[in-house]
Structure 1
């Protein structure tokens, strides 16, 4: 029995000493990896500050790959994205950010990733007639931020940018609507102007859209519809230029009627004068 106890104690001692060795080696290896990660990350930061964004992104990617299970990995991935974004390498930044969203969907800075992705599209907007993909994508991601992260630090700026994007989209609708109006394509013109009322009712183009609907319906002879939009314009923008301009259609109608009445009156007067002259002829 005594021999058995001694054997058990010896076995436990050997087992503990054996298990400690791999743990110790694992800890040393992990510390070494973290040291390498931090070194690569700091080199990336140094390159970024110096303006060498491509080398910076390379170092941040290296830091992520060295220890993908560490907390440094997602931070490095975001910094690689920002490096590309900072010097307008938008396609590279977008690719990095889309990868980040796939790999780290629960990261604490996920709202920043969406915000940076939105900016990559937003800052490619140059011409509303050409950059439709950039416009729609940026709005899509900005809207996602407001819906899912309403208390985010970026929410205020996102609201501002969405309003700007809506102005761009409304101006596009107005441009196309005017184009159809000039070519007397009434239905497509009406649809474009109504799109502004339905989807971009906070933009500066609402007043003109209402006026254009008054104009189209008046030209089509649909006076009741024209009056309806004129009243809506008057109710919301009574002192505006477009409101006063809208009623020029109806004033024009009244003035034309008045001119016709005056013309008939003058004709009657002329007939009386002619008759009067004929008496003395």
Structure 2
């Protein structure tokens, strides 16, 4: 009997939840719903904008506002920090509209979204250095911005993408430096040297590349490779720290 009562309450709760959700977004014409969504976007009311846009997307998937609704959803999800939903919407749009006129904006937003995945509020708030965290989101962001620059060099988003690539390059270089230091502390001398040399080759104009010469020098010293030690010391002299 108790089970039936609980089951009945759960059913009523679910029905009430569904009806409440429907009440949030009234059944009004598409044009009016779209106007409300735009007003919410302009005022920064991301949750309300998302509710209206999602309703438009589900009720009128082939309507006059279909493509713009999808673009607006990407932006609203991103601003609301709904990163997985923004990413899914971006990939969906790219799949359905591979030659869209606003593809430069999509690539730019994909880069921003990947950067958001790499960002940690706690690390920034407490100034915690986590160079050793997984760099894949940063690498994906770098590649998205690079694709934007290559395909749309005259885009209005190119200048900002270029600045972000500079920051991401340093982020990726610092990860390689942290990895090389990890190998050094584990006395994996060859692995440390290889990572340093790869870092110097891929990101030669970074502070991390210069710092890696110190790790490389110590690894060569531990291996007793005098000639390599001398070459590395010369490189350090030619590349002073800032």
TM-score scaled to structure 1, two decimals?
Answer: 0.65
Q: Answer yes or no: is 1:40 the counterpart of 2:33.
A: yes
TM-aligned CA distance change 1:222 to 1:49, over 3 Å: same
* Cα distance in 2 for residues equivalent to 1:113 and 1:57: 18
Structure 2 runs not aligned, ≥5 long: 1-27, 121-129
* Cα distance in 1, alignment partners of residues 189 and 143 from structure 2: 31
Superposition RMSD in Å: 2.4
Counting only pairs closer than 5 Å after superposition, residues 1-281 of structure 1 correspond to structure 2 as 36-64=29-57, 66=60, 68=62, 70=64, 72-125=65-118, 126=120, 127-235=130-238, 237=239, 240-241=240-241
Q: CA deviation at 1:150?
A: 1.8
Question: Residue 241 of structure 1: CA displacement?
Answer: 4.9
* Counterpart-to-counterpart distance in 2, 1:232 and 1:180: 21
Question: Matched residues in 1 for 2:187 and 2:79: separation?
Answer: 47
- Partners of 1:155 and 1:112 lie apart in 2 by 10
Radius of gyration: which is bigger?
1
2:113 is paired with a residue whose SS is helix
Structure ranking higher on relative contact order (CA contacts 8 Å, 6+ apart): 2
CA contact (8 A) 1:36 1:66 kept: no
Q: In the comparison of the two structures, how many residue pairs are matched?
A: 204
Instruction: Report what 2:11 is aligned to.
Output: none
Contact 2:73–2:89 (CA<8 Å) still a contact in 1?
yes
Question: What displacement does 1:80 show?
Answer: 1.2
Contact kept? 1:45, 1:56, Cα under 8 Å: yes
Q: Please, what TM-score do these two structures have when normalized by structure 2?
A: 0.75
CA distance in 1, matches of 2:241, 2:168: 24
Rounded Cα–Cα distance in structure 2 between residues aligned with 1:170 and 1:47: 40
**2:14 alignment partner in structure 1:** none
